[in-house]
């Protein structure tokens, strides 16, 4: 673990009579490569440059970040970790336990992070009491997106129950429209699955299943209903779904080829990047049921040599949690700020709904970490669940068989 002092000194290359402060540098590994994502990360690159930093970009394409995480492991094993890495949830603690993360507590304390971040978010950013990651945003996962014109032309309102969703989908199918835009990649199957699970299991059931890994809940009749609904949804996707990237699925909703997409609000970043307006061109609604599945993007700094790299890490950490970055970045990204003191007046109706629902679920005990986006479980357990979800979705496996496989996979992963 490396400790560096940053404090109130700006990381811009400062030169005084006898002190030369290193010029901040950072090689940044991330998976923000879609249109909306690239626009968002450009905000950070610009702020870093404006503050004297030199950014080396290491984008690794692949929604959900699986490919980026493989690239990270290879770099760390080769003894050549990037300076800053998009990393989140329990994976932060897993890397901390490997002894390869830098301690950014000096920045966190100088910037008063503890006063501006909700405890639920701050907890993910701390490792044994020190700060080991900087949060960027709060993405909500449990959303349904829709093409407004397609729904209107077919006399369909945004569904509020899964039965309504299924009825609307059948009607759309009859009219020759693809009901559900989906990309058959394991993480996208998992994203849809957890949104369905939240609606059907309820917040307590979701927590028992995907946070506590309670076997009775994993094999319950309610969980069988979740797999039943997944089977129904499988009938609403087009034949070309395997392997499709999530942003191409969003584009299908945008251009009216498909009606709905079940995806986190990074999809909103795509709509916005294409100049589409919420409430006019596209609609957003939380999936049927209570609760809020959060997915907080964050950056961890890896233990690297060189004062310039360390100055880069300190500068990045400071900017990431800074008020101005949190506003502009999240306006582009589709998420809401992680900080509680960023005014939301420039944000759209979907962001307002997200912020209101997040506050209400936090109050009511239904604010839950996304398992599919690495917020709830360690990699071995979330991977075990996703393997079952995706093999069920891509075969004729029964729901009975799926819940049995789920219980076995979890038991073997512990």
Tell me how far, at minimum, the Cβ of 410 lies from ligand BGC, in Å.
22
Tell me how far, at minimum, the Cβ of 276 lies from ligand BGC, in Å.
17
How many residues in the shown chain lie near ligand BGC by CB under 6 A?
A: 10
Other CB atoms within a 10 A radius of the CB of residue 227 amount to: 25
Give the one residue of 25, 244, 339, 373 binding ligand BGC; rule: CB under 6 A: 373
70-78: long-range pairs with CB below 8 Å, 24+: 71/29, 72/29, 75/29, 76/100, 76/302
C-alpha distances (whole Å) from 147 to each of 157, 339, 354, 386 are 11, 31, 19, 28
Residues 255-284 that bind ligand BGC (CB under 6 A): 266
Residue 262 contacts residue 63 (beta carbons within 8 Å)? no
Residue 371 contacts residue 207 (beta carbons within 8 Å)? no
Give the one residue of 295, 326, 390, 405 binding ligand BGC; rule: CB under 6 A: 295
Token pair, residue 45, equals: 């690159």
143-147/258-262 β-pairing? antiparallel
Tell me how far apart the alpha carbons of residues 232 and 20 are, in angstroms, rounded to a whole number.
Answer: 64
Tell me how far, at minimum, the Cβ of 33 lies from ligand BGC, in Å.
8
Tell me how far, at minimum, the Cβ of 49 lies from ligand BGC, in Å.
22
Q: Does 53 bind ligand BGC (CB under 6 A)?
A: no
Which single residue brings its beta carbon nearest to ligand BGC? Answer: 266
Tell me how far apart the alpha carbons of residues 9 and 12 are, in angstroms, rounded to a whole number.
Answer: 9
Q: What are the backbone angles phi and psi of residue 127, rounded to the nearest 5°?
A: -130, 110
Binding range to ligand BGC, per CB under 6 A, among 8-16, 60-68, 151-159, 393-401:
60-68
Tell me how far, at minimum, the Cβ of 4 lies from ligand BGC, in Å.
27
Quickly list DSSP for 92-146. HHHHHHTT-BPB-HHHHHHTTHHHHS-HHHHGGGEETTEE--EE-EEEE--EEEE
Q: Does 297 bind ligand BGC (CB under 6 A)?
A: yes
367-369/137-140 β-pairing? unpaired
Q: Does 188 bind ligand BGC (CB under 6 A)?
A: no
Binding range to ligand BGC, per CB under 6 A, among 57-65, 111-119, 156-164, 231-239:
57-65
Binding range to ligand BGC, per CB under 6 A, among 58-66, 93-101, 124-132, 277-285:
58-66
Tell me how far, at minimum, the Cβ of 125 lies from ligand BGC, in Å.
15
Give the one residue of 24, 53, 63, 89 binding ligand BGC; rule: CB under 6 A: 63
Give the one residue of 27, 47, 58, 65 binding ligand BGC; rule: CB under 6 A: 65
Tell me how far, at minimum, the Cβ of 190 lies from ligand BGC, in Å.
10
Residue 296 contacts residue 88 (beta carbons within 8 Å)? yes
Residues 27-46 that bind ligand BGC (CB under 6 A): 31, 37
Tell me how far, at minimum, the Cβ of 142 lies from ligand BGC, in Å.
14
Name the residue with tokens 């950056």: 299
Q: Does 337 bind ligand BGC (CB under 6 A)?
A: no
Tell me how far apart the alpha carbons of residues 410 and 87 are, in angstroms, rounded to a whole number.
Answer: 23
Binding range to ligand BGC, per CB under 6 A, among 62-70, 298-306, 318-326, 336-344:
62-70
Residues 129-148 that bind ligand BGC (CB under 6 A): 139
Which residue, 143 or 266, is less far from ligand BGC as judged by CB? 266
Other CB atoms within a 10 A radius of the CB of residue 163 amount to: 11
Which residue, 64 or 205, is less far from ligand BGC as judged by CB? 64
Binding residues for ligand BGC, per CB under 6 A? 31, 37, 63-65, 139, 266, 295, 297, 373
């Amino acid at each position: 673990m490396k400790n560096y002092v940053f404090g109130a000194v700006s990381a811009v290359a400062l030169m005084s009579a006898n002190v030369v402060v290193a010029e901040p540098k950072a090689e940044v590994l991330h998976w923000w490569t879609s249109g909306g994502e690239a626009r968002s990360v450009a905000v950070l690159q610009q702020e870093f440059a404006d503050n004297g930093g030199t950014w080396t970009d290491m984008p690794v394409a692949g929604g959900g970040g699986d490919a980026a995480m493989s690239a990270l492991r290879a770099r760390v094993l080769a003894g050549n970790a990037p300076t800053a890495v998009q990393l989140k949830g329990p994976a932060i603690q897993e890397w901390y336990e490997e002894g390869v993360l830098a301690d950014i507590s000096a920045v966190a304390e100088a910037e008063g992070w503890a006063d501006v971040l909700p405890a639920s978010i701050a907890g993910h950013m701390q490792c044994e009491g020190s700060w080991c990651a900087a949060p960027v945003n709060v993405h909500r996962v449990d959303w349904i997106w829709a093409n407004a014109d397609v729904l209107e032309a077919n006399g369909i309102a945004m569904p509020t129950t899964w039965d309504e969703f299924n009825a609307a989908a059948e009607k759309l199918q009859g009219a020759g429209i693809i009901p559900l835009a989906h990309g058959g990649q394991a993480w996208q199957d998992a994203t849809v699955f957890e949104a369905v699970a939240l609606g059907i299991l309820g917040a307590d059931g979701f927590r028992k299943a995907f946070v506590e890994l309670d076997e009775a809940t994993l094999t319950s009749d309610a969980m069988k209903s979740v797999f039943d609904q997944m089977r129904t949804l499988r009938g609403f996707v087009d034949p070309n779904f395997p392997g499709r990237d999530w942003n191409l699925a969003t584009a299908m909703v945008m251009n009216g080829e498909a009606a709905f997409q079940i995806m986190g609000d990074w999809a909103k970043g795509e709509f916005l990047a294409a100049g589409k307006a919420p409430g006019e061109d596209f609609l957003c609604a939380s999936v049927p049921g209570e609760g809020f599945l959060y997915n907080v993007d964050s950056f961890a700094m890896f233990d690297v040599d060189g004062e310039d790299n360390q100055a880069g890490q300190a500068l990045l950490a400071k900017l990431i949690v800074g008020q101005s970055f949190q506003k502009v970045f999240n306006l582009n990204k589709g998420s809401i700020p992680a900080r509680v003191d960023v005014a939301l007046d420039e944000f759209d109706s979907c962001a307002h709904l997200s912020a209101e629902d997040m506050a209400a679920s936090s109050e009511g005990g239904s604010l839950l970490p996304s398992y599919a986006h690495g917020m709830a479980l360690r990699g071995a357990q979330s991977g075990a669940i996703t393997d079952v979800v995706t093999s069920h979705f891509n075969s004729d496996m029964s729901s009975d068989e799926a819940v049995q496989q789920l219980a076995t996979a979890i038991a073997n992963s512990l």
